[in-house]
Amino acid sequence: MFNMFLKKNVVFFSKMHGLGNDFVLIDSTQHDFFFSPQLIKKWSNRYLGIGFDQFLVLQRSNCVQASFFYRIFNSNGLEVEQCGNGARCVAYYLFLKKKISKKKICVRTKNRYLFLEHIRDNIFKIDMGEPVFTPKNIPFLCISEQLNYTIMIHGINYLIYVVTIGNPHCVIQVDDIKSINVEKIGRALSVHSSFPEGVNVGFMQILSKKKILLRVYERHVGETYACGSGACAAVSVGILNKMLSNNVTVVLLHGKLTISWNGLPGSSLYMSGEAVHVYDGVITH
């Protein structure tokens, strides 16, 4: 098992991914790890560093409810609140390194508690908590709460749905996901003034009530191979608006997730899927 340091300025890490959404995980439960946005940006470079979409720091929990606390940073060094694929990778890391003996544990992120459950092999089920559609909690600026909203981007009006799964999401239903300019539309929406903290943008094509295609533009990052919280957001919107059933397969660019929610207030949404451990390594700084 890797400890945190071999010697000064040498850091152990684990490279992991969830459906191609890749991470570097630093275990700081035994030793404090001091880092900066500049260091994260340096390491995230896919040519001059390790390369990753997001940087996860596992820490000791300071509350009795959670076994661990972990922080999430995008590749540009900015801290974010939530990451569904990252949650599965954290669960797999804890399982692989034998840091947990129970099949189900609670961890804490920046703004909520998550329950991680080992199903089999490298498949994990995450209790993502309750989807919240209240605009002020996303946050989303509007006159009044509605089921959907209209926003103009590049002279075109788009019908959008908004929700938070611990982080802000905007969902657009499309007829043909392959023809959508995800980068152009996603970038413009992600920094739109209606979203004071930015927003992740999901483009959802419904194939049936039990299956959707999804592409996601993540704020500060761009389009990623997969987005777990984005899958949760899209399905919660579809269920709330009677477009989807309570159990949905989400097909992303590099794999599938299963999302379940009964659509009732106060009820948690569940995400199930695989996590992959790629390798362990060391890097100096």
Q: What is the pLDDT of residues 141-150, one digit of tens each?
A: 999 999 999 9
In this prediction, residues 69-92 reach a mean pLDDT of 93
> What residue ranges do the domains of the chain occupy?
10-128+274-284, 135-267
Whether the CB-CB separation of 18 and 226 falls below 8 Å is answered with yes
Phi, psi of 38 (to 5 degrees): -65, -40
Q: Give whole-number Cα distances, 192 to 120, 170, 198, 228, 265, in Å.
A: 41, 11, 7, 22, 29
What the block records as the tokens of 53 is 């979409």
Amino acid 156: pLDDT: 94
Whether the CB-CB separation of 131 and 163 falls below 8 Å is answered with yes
DSSP secondary structure code for residue 81 in this structure: S
CATH of domain 135-267: 3.10.310.10
Catalytic residue among 63, 83, 89, 232: 83
Q: How many residues does the chain have?
A: 285
Q: How many helices (H) and strands (E) does the chain have?
A: 4, 18
pLDDT at 218 over 50: yes
pLDDT band at 32 (very low <50, low <70, confident <90, very high): confident
Strand partners, 259: 248, 271
In this prediction, residues 206-216 reach a mean pLDDT of 98
Amino acid 34: pLDDT: 83
Query: Does 142 qualify as catalytic in the annotation?
Result: no
Domain 10-128+274-284 and domain 135-267, same fold? Reply is: yes
Nearest of 228, 125, 243, 111 to residue 169 by alpha carbon? 228
| Burial bucket for residue 33 (CB in 10 Å: 0-12, 13-18, 19+) | middle
In this prediction, residues 9-24 reach a mean pLDDT of 93
The reported pTM is 0.91
Query: Does 83 qualify as catalytic in the annotation?
Result: yes
Nearest of 224, 206, 208, 207 to residue 216 by alpha carbon? 224
Amino acid 8: pLDDT: 55
Query: Alpha-carbon distance 228 to 40, whole Å?
Result: 22
CATH match of 10-128+274-284 with 3.10.310.10: yes
Catalytic residue among 89, 170, 227, 232: 227
In this prediction, residues 167-196 reach a mean pLDDT of 97
Of all residues in the chain, what percent carry a pLDDT higher than 70? Answer: 97
- The answer for residues whose C-beta is within 8 angstroms of residue 141's C-beta and 6 or more apart is 135, 193, 194, 195, 196
> What are the pLDDT digits (tens) for 85-110?
999 999 999 999 999 888 999 999 98
